[in-house]
Chains A and B, each alone.
Chain A
Amino acid sequence: MIPEIGHFALILALALAIVQGILPLVGAHRGDATLMSVARPAIAGQLLFVALAYACLTWAFLHDDFSVLYVASHSQLALPFMYKATAVWGGHEGSVLLWILLIAAWTGAVARFSRRLPQPFVARVIGVLGLLSTGFLLYTLLTSNPFDRLSPAPADGGDLNPLLQDPGFVMHPPLLYVGYVGFSVAFAFAVAAMLSGNLDRKWARWTRPWTTAAWMFLTIGIALGSWWSYNELGWGGWWFWDPVENASFMPWLVGTALIHSLAVTEKRGLFKSWTLLLAITAFSLSLLGTFLVRSGVLISVHAFVSDPTRGYAILAFLAIVILGALTLYALRAPDLDSDAGFRPTSRETFLLLNNVLLVVAAALVFIGTLAPLVFEMANIGKISIGPPWFNVAFIIPMLPLVYLVGVGMHTAWRHHATSLLPKSLRWPAAIALVLGILIPGLVYGRFGVLVCVGTVAAFWVMGSALVDPIRSWRRAAGTPGLRPGVLGMSVAHFGVGLFVLGVTLVSAFTVETDRSMREGQALDVAGHTFELRELRDVQGPNYSAIEGAIEIRDNGKFIGEVLPQKRQYLVQKNWMTEAGINVHWNKDLFVALGDQLGNDAWSVRIQYKPMIRFIWLGALVMAIGGLIALSDRRYRGGPTQEEDS
């Protein structure tokens, strides 16, 4: 009965989404206030019914209702409670439902927090988002209904994919989706502005907080995904350039470009058509990412052949939404660009370079992700280009970007900088050179040009980002401090520095070794002694495992014990490696069990990963920077006093 209520709630939500997608847009076009006022109640109703449907599916999981096909194939009786609640987004149908819930929630937030914006504009935004909701609801009801029944109901389910049974997975997809879907708001603002034809700077200011919020969630979502794969895949890598990761990374790169380009459009009225295009592209890449991941077109042809309708349905939806938006752009954009130029070393120039480099990076990731598809299309075959290509291609635009960030932050709008290295930056530059060159040699005992280029860049960005906060902290009493926007920028850029430092040191100084070990045996790796004290059998709720107890000593001093496991999940019968990780602020000691080699010996993979925590810490600090920027009062929709500051 409950699943039918969920199904029915989805149908009602679809009806409301159609109303929400049509009437406000018609109203805004005709200037009819009554029709426009339908927008808010319609989204409130749609959100309510979608949330009800989502609650019904969660109920079915918690009550082990295996008569629901989706529950039967993604859960089982012994699955721990936490994973039952989160298994809702463990498969295709549930992920789409989560997507629908989130787009309704974002639209609800827009309706709630945009009361001071002009009614026609808000009506158009909510209308455009209503059309997107309509598309997704139609898709789920016609091709991937999560409430489909299974008769006869099996006694037990097929279990959630063991890869997904990890605490990182509990939060990773929802945050990622919040970010993905959040770009739909920037998209809807851009389309609404183009529909109204009124593309002044206000549009950019209204869009900025929403874009920053979406970007913030996406940043944390991607970082959690990386952390999850580090913990769960058992190889000790933190980024694999696989199509699923790339699908989330491309919108992030373009979204980052959008944040910066919006700043220029708001402050100076420049780059208007470019900003619109980025807003459309960021969301298009989110949709495209969903298509690539969900259709299976990249990962395996066979996975897809089983159900081609889904792929074609998403592709058709994608084509309608994006081609529609881009056509509108083609018709409206050419009138926009003002001739007001800018000086070669003003902040505008640096932000333009930022945009170019980020978009080039996104394009390279895009090419690398789609190349296998193109090869296949040309009947060449199914291949992967792989990390060797990405690692080289990606660093080419990113390295100059990191160096430019340091200077760009301190250039002024409009003004021509007299020197490329202003006085305030001489100290950070000197400190960065000294630390960046000395640390690899003194701490890790090896110099190298590439390493130093990385560490100097990291310290340079961090130092440069600290200049404004330090100046503000030492200011005379009574003078105004940093605006949250500027502070947020400094914090986010500091996070970039932490991230670059982590990536550089991990890639350069990781020690990795595969050995065979027996009980009682000890090994020395990277200055640490690893002793396998005991191997034992362990029973989990839905798996059985072999666990190694490995004691780690640093110069004879005990610093910790790790318990890596090799698990066999009982229902799906596959083996999973659960790494044992001993965490310190400046290093991870990573131990994973391989296979039994005979004679009671086991292959053990031991890794020393310096500064790997800085990768995720850097991403977290970037997101915190976004949060600080969001708290800026200018975004509260108040009067427009600082149009030109």
Chain B
Amino acid sequence: MSFRAFIPVLAFAALVVLLSLGLREDPSRLPSPFIGKPAPRLDLPTLADPSKRITNADFAGKTVLVNVWATWCVSCRDEHRFLLELAKSKTIPIYGINWRDTSAEAKNWLQQLGNPYTEIGEDQDGRAGIDWGVYGAPESFLIGSNGKVLHKQIGPLDQQNWERDFVPLIESQEPGT
């Protein structure tokens, strides 16, 4: 009997532990290293008109939401409904980074589902995604009026995490409070 022969059993046992943890609901969240740092550099052609560019200067002095999305991402479709509501409520401007996608697909998506974004930058080769430390889509960054990252959300936004994590931070940014 050699140890090597037991590798498959041990590997599978580890997988079972992983999966059983995966069945637990609502894991608590850890703070992200991005918080409190200046927003990473942004300089992308816009989806609507590739000759124009979207940069950090576009939202200087404003509190904005930067949302990374792609048409191939299943949970972005879920999140989109929430973004539309958020845009309707005019709480905050939403800037989109269309990540590793094609313009045709992205335009079709917006045409079919509606467009919640103030402006969208096209990041076809994923360079901006690297600068912004994007693991996958969707991800959202709350950028304060001082240009610093206030909060980073990995995974879809919804009413619950919006009210819990974003709203208090946005309110603390309001001028005069």
Contact = CB atoms under 8 A, between A and B. Distances in A.
Interface of A: 240, 242, 273, 277, 280, 284, 291, 295, 297, 299, 301, 304-305, 308, 311-312, 315, 318-319, 322-323, 326-327, 329-331, 333-334, 370, 372-377, 379-388, 512-514, 594-595, 597, 603, 605
Contact of A375 (B72, B75, B154): B154
Given A315-B16, A374-B18, A383 B108 contact: no
Given A284-B12, A312-B20, A323-B9, A376 B139 contact: no
B7 to A, nearest CB: 8
Contact of A329 (B8, B135, B137, B154): B8
A386 B27 contact: no
- Complex A-B, nearest 3 residue pairs according to Cβ-Cβ distance, in ascending order: A381-B154, A383-B136, A382-B155
A388 B100 contact: yes
30 contacts: A242-B74, A273-B5, A277-B8, A291-B19, A304-B23, A312-B20, A315-B16, A318-B16, A319-B13, A319-B16, A323-B13, A326-B8, A329-B8, A329-B9, A330-B1, A330-B8, A330-B9, A334-B5, A375-B135, A376-B155, A377-B18, A377-B21, A379-B29, A381-B139, A382-B156, A383-B137, A384-B72, A386-B137, A514-B108, A603-B112
Residue among A327, A370, A386, A603 with the highest chain B CB neighbour number at 10 A: A386
Contacts of B26: 301
Contacts of A514: 104, 107-108, 111
Given A381-B139, A383-B73, A514-B104, 16 more contacts: A284-B12, A301-B25, A304-B23, A326-B9, A377-B18, A377-B22, A377-B27, A379-B28, A379-B29, A382-B155, A382-B156, A383-B137, A384-B72, A388-B126, A603-B108, A605-B108
B136 A372 contact: yes
B23 A315 contact: yes
Nearest to B134: A383
Contacts of B154: 375, 380-383
B51 interface: no
A594 B112 contact: yes
Interface in B108-146: 108, 111-112, 126, 135-139
A242 B2 CA distance: 38
Given A372-B136, A379-B28, A595-B111, A513 B12 contact: no
A595 B108 CA distance: 10
B18 to A, nearest CB: 7
Nearest to A304: B23
Interface string B33-64: 00000000000000000000000000000000
A258 to B, nearest CB: 15
A387 B112 contact: no
B20 A594 contact: no
Residue among A372, A377, A381, A514 with the highest chain B CB neighbour number at 10 A: A381
Residue among B16, B19, B108, B155 with the highest chain A CB neighbour number at 10 A: B19
B135 A383 contact: yes
A513 B72 contact: no
Nearest to B161: A381
Contacts of A323: 9, 12-13, 16
Contact of A295 (B23, B72, B112): B23
B66 to A, nearest CB: 15
Contacts of A379: 27-30
Contacts of B136: 372, 375, 383-386
Interface in B153-170: 153-156
Contacts of A372: 136
A312 B24 CA distance: 10
Contacts of B135: 375, 380-381, 383
B111 A594 contact: yes
A280 B9 CA distance: 11
B22 A376 contact: yes
B75 A384 contact: yes
A609 to B, nearest CB: 14
B65 interface: no
B6 A312 contact: no
Contact of B75 (A319, A326, A377, A383): A383
B70 interface: yes
Contacts of A299: 74
Nearest to B11: A326
B133 to A, nearest CB: 11
Contacts of A597: 111
B74 A384 contact: yes
B162 to A, nearest CB: 14
Contact of A512 (B4, B6, B22, B104): B104
Contact of B6 (A319, A330, A384): A330
Contacts of A370: 18
A383 B9 contact: no
B163 to A, nearest CB: 17
A373 B153 CA distance: 16
B110 to A, nearest CB: 10
Given A376-B22, A381-B153, A329 B111 contact: no
Contacts of A284: 12
Contact of A334 (B1, B8, B155): B1
Contacts of A387: 72
A299 B78 CA distance: 12
Contacts of B21: 377
Contacts of B155: 376, 381-383
A384 B12 contact: no
Residue among A308, A330, A387, A514 with the highest chain B CB neighbour number at 10 A: A330
A322 B74 contact: no
A329 B8 CA distance: 9
Contacts of A331: 1, 5
Nearest to A388: B100
Contacts of B107: 514
